[in-house]
């Protein structure tokens, strides 16, 4: 997230896309905690690698969308939606895999 102010035009520009690396890392940490502690489905190291892949894929999809759409809010929604979808699929896949074995 960036915030800039132009003295010449007296405008305030607030950009929320792309998220900073710090924000992305916080997202990953929160999802790892959710997978490993709340649901207990994966050990932390396995959850971390899975979540990093999910986040990178979501970021890539949103970044591609960014060039086409141009609206920061819409792009951030694409990023968020992709993370939720992939996270849900991962949890569902693990649930099915656990119930089969």
The answer to whether residue 21 is domain-embedded is yes
Q: How many domains does the chain have?
A: 1
- Residue 94: exposed, middle, or buried by beta-carbon count in 10 A (0-12, 13-18, 19+)? middle
Q: pTM score, two decimals?
A: 0.74
Residue 72, pLDDT > 80, answer: yes
Decide if 8 is inside a domain: no
63 assigned to some structural domain:
yes
C-alpha distance from residue 42 to each of 27, 46, 65, 95 (Å): 17, 6, 31, 11
> Residue 83 belongs to what domain range?
17-100
Task: Tell me if 1 is assigned to some domain.
Answer: no
Q: Which CATH number belongs to the domain containing residue 47 in this structure?
A: 1.10.246.200
CA distances from 70 to 5, 47, 52, 92 (A): 20, 32, 25, 33
Q: How many alpha carbons fall within 13 Å on the CB side of residue 17?
A: 21
The answer to whether residue 7 sits within a structural domain is no
Confidence of residue 26 (pLDDT cuts 50, 70, 90): very high
Looking at the domain assignment, is residue 6 inside a domain? no
For residue 24, the SS3 value is helix
Reply yes or no on whether the pLDDT at 35 is more than 90.
Answer: no
């Amino acid at each position: 997230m960036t915030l800039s102010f132009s003295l010449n035009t007296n405008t305030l520009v607030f950009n929320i896309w792309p998220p900073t690396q710090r924000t992305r890392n916080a997202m990953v940490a929160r999802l790892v905690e959710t997978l490993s502690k709340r649901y207990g489905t994966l050990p932390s190291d396995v959850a971390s690698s899975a979540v990093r892949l999910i986040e990178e894929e979501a970021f890539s999809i949103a970044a591609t969308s960014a060039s086409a759409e141009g609206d920061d809010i819409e792009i951030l929604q694409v990023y968020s939606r992709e993370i939720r979808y992939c996270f849900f699929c991962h949890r569902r896949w693990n649930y099915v895999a656990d119930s089969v074995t």
